[in-house]
Amino acid sequence: MTLDLTGRIALVTGASRGIGYQIALQMAAAGAHVIAVARTVGGLEDLDDEIKASGRGAATLVPLDLTDMPAIDRLGGVINERWGKLDILVANAGMLGVISPVGHVEAKIFEKVMTLNVTSQWRLIRSVDPLLKKSGAGRAIILSSNAAHSAKAYWGPYAASKAAIETLTRSWAAEIQDSPMRVNACDPGATRTAMRAQAMPGENPNNLPGPAEVAARILGMARTDLAHNGMIYQAKGDRWVSYQQPA
């Protein structure tokens, strides 16, 4: 079924490249007005050019370093003033850090990973939660990773950050369970991106799906008729998983 996002306002972080770029592009193609957030101005401008060339949807470019916490707070205020609501949040921005034994990780690297992958995500949630509640069907899509569960050797900081944001996502979902909002995490799976190349330099990228293919699967998480809440969508297998345990 073709996804129609006409009239919907979508905020996508990490929108200058990779999966975030493709999600923003495809949401605009589905009719959404995309608020595209990233540090790299050139990548945002490329996105804007491609959206304009398609003739469908529109974008507002927001060059923003997500480690600037007060700026994240201001972003929510600006969205409220201009649109009065937010329909879709795609919290995609993140970083790998370093593949290293836990005891060898530099403190500044560990802190940077946690700041971007966890603290900035919480700050973003806090900033837009009231706006998503103003939507008739607010949808929050928080990018996670299987690393949160596999806890592979040498992936400690990244794995810990994804476990933290995934748990935060589930707590948020439980809080809005009885509302029209839906909050879910997404494990995109191995994808042909710069981050994947950094993590697995010996891997043949041609064996992996590209960002456009993965983004197309993730787009369904923005459907207004979505029933899932507090779950993890695994894009690779196109399946929904719950890690919640009975109280």
3 state SS of 148: helix
Q: Quick one: pLDDT at residue 85?
A: 98
CATH of the domain at 25: 3.40.50.720
Q: Quick one: pLDDT at residue 244?
A: 59
Q: 141 with 222: CB under 8 angstroms? A: yes
Q: Is 21 a catalytic residue?
A: no
Provide the 10 A C-beta neighbour count for residue 109: 15
User: Is 126 among the domain residues?
Assistant: yes
Q: Which two tokens stand for residue 146?
A: 């299987």
User: Is 141 among the domain residues?
Assistant: yes
- Cα distance between residue 232 and residue 144, in whole Å: 8
Q: Of these residues, 21, 158, 233, 243, which one is catalytic?
A: 158
pLDDT tens-digit series, residues 26-53: 999 999 999 999 999 999 999 999 999 9
User: Is 246 among the domain residues?
Assistant: no
Q: Quick one: pLDDT at residue 246?
A: 45
3 state SS of 239: strand
Residue closest to 1 by CA, chosen among 147, 220, 209, 163: 220
Q: Quick one: pLDDT at residue 206?
A: 85
Q: 232 with 144: CB under 8 angstroms? A: yes
- Cα distance between residue 140 and residue 39, in whole Å: 21
Question: pLDDT means per 10 residues in the chain (247 residues)?
Answer: 90 97 97 97 97 92 97 98 98 94 97 98 98 97 94 94 96 97 94 83 84 96 97 94 65
Number of domain units in the chain: 1
User: Is 2 among the domain residues?
Assistant: no
User: Is 152 among the domain residues?
Assistant: yes
Q: What is the pTM of this model?
A: 0.94
Residue closest to 139 by CA, chosen among 86, 92, 93: 86
User: Is 247 among the domain residues?
Assistant: no
Q: Quick one: pLDDT at residue 203?
A: 81
User: Is 104 among the domain residues?
Assistant: yes
pLDDT tens-digit series, residues 145-185: 999 999 899 999 999 999 999 999 999 999 999 999 999 99
User: Is 191 among the domain residues?
Assistant: yes
- Apex 22 CA angle, 185 and 68, nearest 5: 65
Which domain does 203 fall in, by range?
A: 9-241
